A and B are shown apart, each in its own frame.
Chain A
Amino acid sequence: MLVQAVEAIGFGIATGAVIALGAVGFSVQFGMSNILNITYGSLMTLGAYMGLYLIDRGINAWVALLIAGMVIGVVSVGFHRWLLAPLVRKGTRAFAIVIVTVSAGVVLQYVIVAFAGPDAKSYGEQSGQTFRFAGFLLTASQVAIIVLTLVLMLGLHLLLTRTTLGRAMRATASNRILAQSCGINTDLISDTAWLLSGALCGAAGVALAITTVSFDFTLGPIFLIPMIAAAVLGGIGQPYGAMVGGLVVGIAGELAASFANPEYSEVVAFAILILMLLLRPSGLFGSASATRRLAA
């Protein structure tokens, strides 16, 4: 019983690391542009298939993760600059923008199917070696992804707190007009934020494909919900909250899968998301100002 719980928590940390990777990117986008970008899920799928393409051509999985991250980052910048930002400027209503991102996600998903086919894919053998410490049982690639997430999160933390660019990003996210009048080029900062978050999105897609045994074109949309749950749990728009939220959602999901039905790991994330939206939309550590931002 206890061994089973500890092992589930270990898996939960590994899943949580991938969820956190995606959730932080999603949160950064929302914090910067105030848009719930549902296309994020399909962009993760695109990253996973791009990784597959590269790995099939003999490129190392971790290099593929890096390349897919950079490409999806650039795609995200274009998607925001040429589709979402003009719509926001035209004064399109918030729910119409969500419908646009849902539609764009569906279009991208079926474009991927049209090229790659609907059947399940796999990156093949990644690692036969397993590590066991403190009761956790993890594969080498899971350990590598946990380390990768930690490094990326630390890097993001240093970027946001220690650099001028990071300060400009935080200033733009909290008050765009004030930031503009301080001489910050907010359009450039927006692009940078979408580049970074898109890179996290693409990396999360490849990381998801590495950790799951096999995947198909629904990979991104399926994992988007736990990611949104993690982002909302930690207070949407706040990258640190999303990291903690990722761990909570990952561990809760794996515990449910281990002690109840494997399908329920998804239901746990759904339930967390709905409950948070209904009861505490500003997140567990949310402030009053964050709540006001989310009110109708």
Chain B
Amino acid sequence: MEYYVVVLLVYLGTDLLAAWGLNLEFGVSGIANLAFIVTIAAGAYAYAICTLGPPAAMGNFQQYVGGFTLPFPVAVAAGTLTGAVVGVLIGITGLKRLRPDYQAVAMLVVSLMAATIVSADTGFLNGNAGLGLIPAPFSDQDPEFQRWAYVAIVAVCCIAGYLVLRRFTDGPIGRTLRAMRDDEYAAAAIGKDIVAMRLMVQAVGGAFGGLSGALLVAFIGGWSPGAWNYIETLALLTAVIVGGMGNNRGVTIGTFLIAILILQGVQFLPQSINTIRIGLREDLGWIVLGVLTIVFIWTRPQGVVAEKRPRYGGSP
């Protein structure tokens, strides 16, 4: 039971970091990044190949590039940085002045393409089987201490992440980004560099994704293309839409609702459902998630907690 609480806290923390990153891109800046999960995957793989030893040292049971045996903080930093770089690469797809729905589909395709290439190429990141035995920090300590110390690390990352996030979603940068979302031409007309803003948002959002992936993989110890299916982006997107686009507090509530109450909650459905067929409870989770997204876009597009209209000095 205590272990389950630790699992939930770590999942909540990493999901929060990811949802905040996606909200910065999608909610605040209007970039419908359906390839967001790729930045999480990039962070996780970067952490893995930084902390693992060379493949030959482990009897070559899995194939990957790198294997640098670096300490935990360096590997997490590398994961964050890789996430940012991948975020910018994804963002380049969205630079062309296309209809926003076209951009969303282009990014969806990027997500599928990345998963196909990583699965097909076994020499790069061990293909479809994925990487295992990824080292965790404090592994030489008492297991209970190790678990709670890890929760503390995730919590510190979340608090630090939130403070950084507010520099981008509030204040002058946030106002510029919201202007870009609401009317790109008007924002460009008053001298805002749209391309630079978009790439910056992709870099910061990607860094959040990379950090989330690195922290997650250090905890679960394994990572494979099955873990970053394009549907996972949809779960984060549902959290953003249900919570309230463009609004950090709303997204925090949304993440709690989606990642914890629904995706973990289905585990508590009666065991009898799974006797019909194994995995049916998880399938129901995805069905609920998809329906929730549609219902919210239909009835309450602003989410549970609506974005505050900015107020500027003086009465109108």
Contact = CB atoms under 8 A, between A and B. Distances in A.
B45 to A, nearest CB: 19
Nearest to B31: A95
Contacts of B238: 103
Contact of A270 (B101, B113, B280): B113
B219 interface: no
B97 A99 contact: no
A60 B140 CA distance: 64
A11 to B, nearest CB: 19
A13 B168 CA distance: 51
Nearest to A112: B283
B120 A296 contact: no
A35 B97 CA distance: 18
A107 B291 contact: yes
Contacts of A107: 286-287, 290-291, 294
B311 interface: no
Interface stretch (B54-62, B73-81, B103-111, B246-254): B103-111
Contacts of B280: 114
Interface string A273-287: 110011001000000
Nearest to B286: A110
Given A263-B119, A296-B184, A274 B109 contact: yes
Contacts of A86: 298
A296 B290 CA distance: 27
A38 B290 contact: no
Interface string A95-111: 11111101110110011
B308 interface: no
B93 A274 contact: yes
B283 A270 contact: no
A99 B98 contact: no
Interface string B108-131: 111011001101100000000000
A118 B101 contact: no
A266 interface: yes
Interface in B86-102: 93, 96-102
B234 A261 contact: no
A154 interface: no
B284 interface: yes
A233 to B, nearest CB: 13
Given A36-B102, A228-B105, A263-B120, A102 B287 contact: no
B9 interface: no
Given A98-B105, A281-B96, A225 B112 contact: yes
B222 interface: no
B22 interface: no
Interface residues of B, number: 45
A137 interface: no
Interface residues of A, number: 44
Contact of B301 (A96, A98, A118, A295): A96
Contacts of A225: 109, 112
Contacts of B277: 114, 117
A178 interface: no
B96 A278 contact: yes
A97 B104 CA distance: 10
Interface string A241-269: 00000000000000000000101101100
A244 B283 CA distance: 38
Interface string A192-230: 000000000000000000000000000000000100100
Nearest to A277: B106
Contacts of A103: 234, 238, 289-291, 293-294
Contacts of A96: 297, 301
B93 A98 contact: no
A220 B112 CA distance: 14
Nearest to B30: A95
B241 interface: yes
A93 B287 contact: no
Nearest to A293: B99
A94 interface: yes
A83 B101 contact: no
Nearest to A116: B277
Contact of B98 (A83, A228, A281): A281
Interface string A55-94: 0000000000000000000000000000100110010111
A113 interface: yes
B37 interface: no
A165 interface: no
B84 interface: no
B195 to A, nearest CB: 13
Contact of A97 (B101, B103, B184, B283): B101
Interface string B241-268: 1000000000000000000000000000
A86 B267 CA distance: 35
B297 A118 contact: no
A106 B32 CA distance: 17
Given A104-B290, A264-B120, A36 B283 contact: no
26 contacts: A36-B104, A38-B105, A86-B298, A87-B297, A96-B297, A98-B104, A99-B104, A100-B294, A100-B297, A104-B294, A106-B286, A110-B284, A113-B283, A114-B280, A225-B112, A263-B116, A263-B120, A264-B120, A267-B117, A271-B113, A274-B106, A274-B113, A281-B98, A294-B99, A296-B99, A296-B100
